[in-house]
């Protein structure tokens, strides 16, 4: 058997729920059958992925109980084989899977999304943040800035339930609040500041402003759109306040133009 054929055969048996053809495996000097020896790898593959899911979605597991989480995790593994050489990336579709499997507990999906986004922020791409001194230096030089860019780890997620309160309670080892639907959806921003993941809720105007930055709008265009959508607000003042907070939060990239 050629190496590529051997690898494909091993992978197909590894992903299968039951060993059906293991004749290509050498017999064991200890009397273990080929099927039994292959099943060790089958089980180890699933256990490792389940451990990865538990590590990534720790708050979710604590919220729904580890017993239920384990059942859902192993079921997810059967339908979602690992496709990335970085095992830390495994579980991208797990929140959606939970949403499908627990239709009456939609807050679980939102808690899982928080877990996923915070983990991705932790190991996301590096990018120097724009600081107030650097911005002042750019302005003083007369270069001017037409576009502001976000650091790569910035991500927005929408919550319709009190999932943020639930996540906080679980994080503090406290009893989680009863799931309650919010009066209106809330936007939460996740990013990494220095070496630590951060998150906070956003106002309507900040949500729109961040979305416009994500779409590549210029500062001028951003302010024009905000003026149209929030006619009762002084956009110059509002944008100035947002800029100060963004600099403090370190969500703006130093790569400006």
Task: Extract the runs of DSSP E, i.e. beta strands, from the chain.
Answer: 155-161, 181-193, 196-202
Closest by Cα among 58, 203, 45, 200 to 119: 58
DSSP 211-242: HHHHTT--HHHHHHHHHHH-TTS-HHHHHHHH
Q: In terms of domains, do 110 and 78 share one?
A: no
With a cut of 70, say whether residue 171 has pLDDT above it: yes
When comparing pLDDT for 245 and 140, which is higher? 245
Contacts of 35 (CB under 8 A, 6+ apart): 19, 22
Q: What is the pLDDT of residue 39?
A: 76
Q: Is the dihedral of CA 111, 116, 121, 123 positive or negative?
A: positive
pLDDT digits (tens, 9 = 90+) for 180-212: 999 999 999 999 999 999 999 999 999 999 999
Q: Domain boundary at 66, 87, 104, which?
A: 104
Is the whole-model pTM more than 0.85? Answer: yes
Q: How confident is the model at residue 96 (pLDDT cuts 50, 70, 90)?
A: very high
Co-location of 47 and 137 in the same domain: no
Alpha-carbon Rg for the chain in angstroms? 24
pLDDT for 97-149, tens place per residue? Answer: 999 999 999 999 999 999 999 999 999 999 999 999 999 998 888 888 899 99
> Crossing angle for the helix pair 204-214 and 235-249, nearest 10 degrees?
70
Last residue of one domain, picked from the residues 56, 74, 104: 104
pLDDT of residue 139: 85
Asked whether residue 5 carries a pLDDT value surpassing 80, the answer given is no
Q: Which one is predicted more confidently, 19 or 111? A: 111
Q: Do 59 and 119 belong to one domain?
A: no
Domain at 202, CATH number: 3.90.930.50
Question: Which of these, 112, 125, 200, lies nearest to 156 by C-alpha position?
Answer: 200
Higher pLDDT, 91 or 18: 91
- Same domain, yes or no, for 196 and 207? yes
> What total of structural domains would you count in the chain?
2
- 123 and 246 housed in the same domain: yes
Same domain for 90 and 29: yes
Q: Are residues 98 and 114 in the same domain?
A: no
pLDDT digits (tens, 9 = 90+) for 34-91: 677 777 788 888 999 999 999 999 999 999 999 999 999 999 999 999 988 899 899 9
pLDDT number for residue 22: 64
255 and 216 in one domain? yes
| Residues 118, 20 share a domain | no
DSSP letter at 121 equals: H
Q: Do 85 and 155 belong together in one domain?
A: no
pLDDT score recorded for residue 214: 97
In this structure, the answer to whether residues 206 and 252 fall within a common structural domain is yes
Q: What range defines the domain where residue 197 resides?
A: 106-257
- Residue 37: what pLDDT? 73
Tell me what pLDDT residue 143 has. Answer: 81
Is the domain of 29 the same as that of 146?
Answer: no
Q: Which of 53, 75, 104 finishes a domain?
A: 104
């Amino acid at each position: 058997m050629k190496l590529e054929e051997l690898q494909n055969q091993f992978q197909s048996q590894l992903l299968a729920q039951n060993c059906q053809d293991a004749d290509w495996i050498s017999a064991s000097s200890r009397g273990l059958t080929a099927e039994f020896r292959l099943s060790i790898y089958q089980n180890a593959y699933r256990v490792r992925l389940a451990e990865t899911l538990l590590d990534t979605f720790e708050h979710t597991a604590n919220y729904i109980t580890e017993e239920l989480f384990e059942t859902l995790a192993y079921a997810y593994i059967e339908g979602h084989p690992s496709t990335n050489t970085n095992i830390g990336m495994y579980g991208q579709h797990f929140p959606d899977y939970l949403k499908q499997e627990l239709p009456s507990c939609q807050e679980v999906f939102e808690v899982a999304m928080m877990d996923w986004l915070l983990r991705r922020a932790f190991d996301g791409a590096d990018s120097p943040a724009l600081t107030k001194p650097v911005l002042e230096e750019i302005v003083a030089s007369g270069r001017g800035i037409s576009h502001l860019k976000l650091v790569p780890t910035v991500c927005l997620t929408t919550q319709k339930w009190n999932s943020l309160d639930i996540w906080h309670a679980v994080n503090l080892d406290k009893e989680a609040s009863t799931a309650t639907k919010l009066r209106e959806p809330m936007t939460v921003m996740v990013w990494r500041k220095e070496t630590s993941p951060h998150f906070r809720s956003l106002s309507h105007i900040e949500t729109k402003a961040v979305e416009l930055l994500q779409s590549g709008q210029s500062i001028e265009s951003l302010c024009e759109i905000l003026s149209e959508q929030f006619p009762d607000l002084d956009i110059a003042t509002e944008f100035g306040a947002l800029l100060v907070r963004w600099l403090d939060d370190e969500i703006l990239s130093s790569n400006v133009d």
